Amino acid sequence: MYKKIKSQVFEIIEVGKNLPSRIFDVFIIVMIILTLITAIADTFDIPSFWKNVFDKFEIVSVFIFTVEYILRIWTADLLHPELSPLRARLKYIISFMAIIDLLAILPFYLPFFIKIDLRALRALRVVRLLRIFKINRYTNALNTIGQVFKNKASQLISSIMIVGLLMIIASVLMYNIESTAQPDAFSNAIEAMWWAVATLTTVGYGDVYPITAAGKILATIIAFLGIGMVAVPTGIITAGFSELVKSDDNQENDKKKYCPYCGQKIDDK
């Protein structure tokens, strides 16, 4: 009996095919979208009636997400049947999705445990927006893109590392070049980094830019490296998408290979 309920709950909260599971999925997505809307509306000067409604909704939604979180931990041993129940639950708790779920509900419970400034709490409430990632669990289409990023993670991280080093070098150099001419905008290397970001990403707000000849030459070099910075991750990600497609192709191709010597069909690979 207990086992049967558990397995039914598991069926429902996981992305299942039966009706209750689908209703649950749609319900969670609606809750997340409502969270988004109230998060945006909260930033406006809205009448206190609505403020009140949003606060009520917040209590209800946190309650629902808390129940969902507990149910997921409870049924985690069905997710990892190869592990002992305790280990399965621990493994689930430290998974990316479970941490997101926890962070999304934690700020609400914080004032019960520690004394916290109300202002800071308000800011913390934006963490609710992390619930958006729960949608990911429900949309198959995003998984292809996610897969590409996962496959190419090490190369992408390397390219981010290069960019980080480039930014530090550019900032320290620019500070040395421009700090005399513009002591306000380039007062130290960290301030100069704001210029480096705007230039490397080619955003170019125009609030800080070099005015000396040497500064302009450095900015030119950095701006062109910025183009490379777009090109490298684009190349990595494009290769990722092409490979995904190709590996699909290969699976199809595999069915039709022949040995040139004996003419037999070979399904190698």
Residues 4-33, interacting with its own copies (CB under 8 A): none
Cα–Cα nearest to 137, from 184, 101, 177, 179: 101
Name residue 266's beta-bridge partners.
257
Phi/psi for 152 (5° steps) reads -105, 15
Q: 246-265: which residues touch its own copies (CB under 8 A)?
A: 253, 256-264
Asked whether position 188 contacts its own copies by CB under 8 A, the answer is yes
Residue nearer to its own copies on the CB measure, 9 or 232 = 232
Candidates 7-15, 17-25, 60-68, 152-160 — which segment interacts with its own copies by CB under 8 A?
Answer: 152-160
Q: Pick the binder of its own copies from 9, 34, 39, 90 (CB under 8 A).
A: 39
What are the helix (H) ranges across the chain?
2-13, 19-41, 48-74, 76-79, 85-93, 96-113, 118-124, 132-136, 141-151, 153-178, 189-200, 213-253
SS3 assignment, position 266:
strand
Residue 265, strand partner residues: 258
Q: Is 92 in the site for its own copies (CB under 8 A)?
A: no
Stretch that binds its own copies, among 14-22, 43-51, 86-94, 102-110 (CB under 8 A): 43-51
Closest to its own copies by CB, 39 or 98: 39
Pick from 239, 232, 237: which is nearest to 160 by CA? 232
Binding of its own copies by 218 (CB under 8 A): no
Does 1 bind its own copies (CB under 8 A)? Our answer is no
> What is the footprint of its own copies within residues 45-64 (CB under 8 A)?
45
Closer residue to its own copies (CB): 77 or 240? 240
